[in-house]
Amino acid sequence: MKQHGKSGQGTQAEQRGHGVQTSEDAGKLYVVATPIGNLGDISARALAVLAQADLVAAEDTRTTGHLLAHHGIAAKLIALHEHNEMQRAAELVARIKAGKTIALVSDAGTPGISDPGALLVARARQAGVTVCPIPGANAAVAAMSAAGLSAPHFLFYGFLPVKSAARRAALEALRELPYALVFYEAPHRVTECVDALAAILGGEREIVIARELTKLFEAIHSCRLDQAGAWLAADANRQRGEFVLIVSGAPAEASAGLPDEAERVLRLLLAELPLKQSVALCAAITGARKNELYARALELRD
């Protein structure tokens, strides 16, 4: 850890409780969230960590160099991206074990979230290195916070597969979940993706299209899923920039939709037997899925 000011006293930021500690902190890996657009969206603690780290491991050293320069920080940078993470992880862990402090950043938002970083973190943890997250911007959470969906739960999916058969299979596996689904998508695929969402998840669901969050052309639009394609097509600007797509969860009926026979048998059994036994017998008699029967049995019991 670079020392600023008198040894052991820390910088002004540290004394205010914002920053990192001094010597006893040597040999840690900090996972530092950076802005997803607006360069002001970075915490005082993140800036202190970046200023004092011996090395900043960055997905793209130019992008991070720009951010650091904006905040007046001169740091030593090293590239760590999806193509070299495997080799570089071992080297960086060795440096941390030798007492150096490394800050890991990605191009935007939180490292390891649809971004490189998880491998270095895993290697560091395996080697007994302390890993400290420095939380901050994340596009999915920012979009969720401004979506206004009354969803108590959401599932972060990130990027769907690019090929249509694989994307269809992924969406079919998500179709019945009663949770809001959060996707990342690139601008050149957003229309195709929205069409697939409508076709596979059902056009009556709500979608929130969050574009260019925290940037000049930030826009958040919600509509029925089957209207989203036309809305995007109505103005080419609507297909530009970075996107988070949030789709409301499967309606309750869809997730509780047992076949009639399974529903009838389950009700009969529940009237006579304990819940677990009823579920097991009903699964054996009707071939319905145990987890679906179990969820339905809980509903009926309540």
- Asked whether position 35 contacts ligand SAM by CB under 6 A, the answer is no
Smallest distance from the beta carbon of 212 to ligand SAM, in angstroms?
Answer: 5
Q: By CB under 6 A, name the one of 81, 168, 189, 215 that touches ligand SAM.
A: 215
> Among residues 110 and 286, whose Cβ is nearest to ligand SAM?
110
Which pairs with CB-CB distance under 8 Å and at least 24 residues apart come from 111-119? 111/31, 111/32, 111/33, 111/59, 112/31, 113/138, 113/140, 113/156, 113/158, 114/158, 114/159, 114/184, 115/59, 116/59, 116/80, 116/81, 116/82, 116/85, 117/31, 117/80, 117/85, 119/85, 119/86, 119/89
What is the C-alpha to C-alpha distance for residues 47 and 93, in angstroms, rounded to an integer?
Answer: 22
Using the minimum distance from each CB to ligand SAM, give the nearer residue, 14 or 242: 242
Q: Which stretch binds ligand SAM (CB under 6 A): 63-71, 91-99, 184-192, 258-266?
A: 184-192
Decide if residue 32 touches ligand SAM (CB under 6 A): no
- Is residue 214 a contact point for ligand SAM (CB under 6 A)? yes
CB of 178 to ligand SAM, least distance (A): 24
Per 3-state DSSP, what percentage of the chain is helix, strand, and coil (rounded to 5)?
Answer: 45, 15, 35
Stretch 98-137: interaction string toward ligand SAM, x if CB under 6 A: --------x-xxx--xxx----------------------
| Nearest distance from C-beta of residue 28 to ligand SAM, angstroms | 21
By CB under 6 A, name the one of 69, 86, 94, 186 that touches ligand SAM: 186
Q: Rounded CA gap, 112 and 33, in Å?
A: 10
List Cα–Cα distances, 224 to 22, 81, 167, 231, in angstroms. Answer: 53, 37, 20, 10
Distance CA 36, CA 42 (A): 9
Q: Which is nearer to ligand SAM, 52 or 110 (CB)?
A: 110
Closest distance to ligand SAM from the beta carbon of 155 (Å): 15
Indicate whether 255 belongs to the interface with ligand SAM (CB under 6 A). Answer: no
Asked if 190 touches ligand SAM (CB under 6 A), the answer is: no
**Is residue 245 within 8 Å of 238, Cβ to Cβ?**
no
Q: Which residues here bind ligand SAM, judged by CB under 6 A? A: 36-37, 106, 108-110, 113-115, 138-140, 184-186, 210, 212-215, 242-244
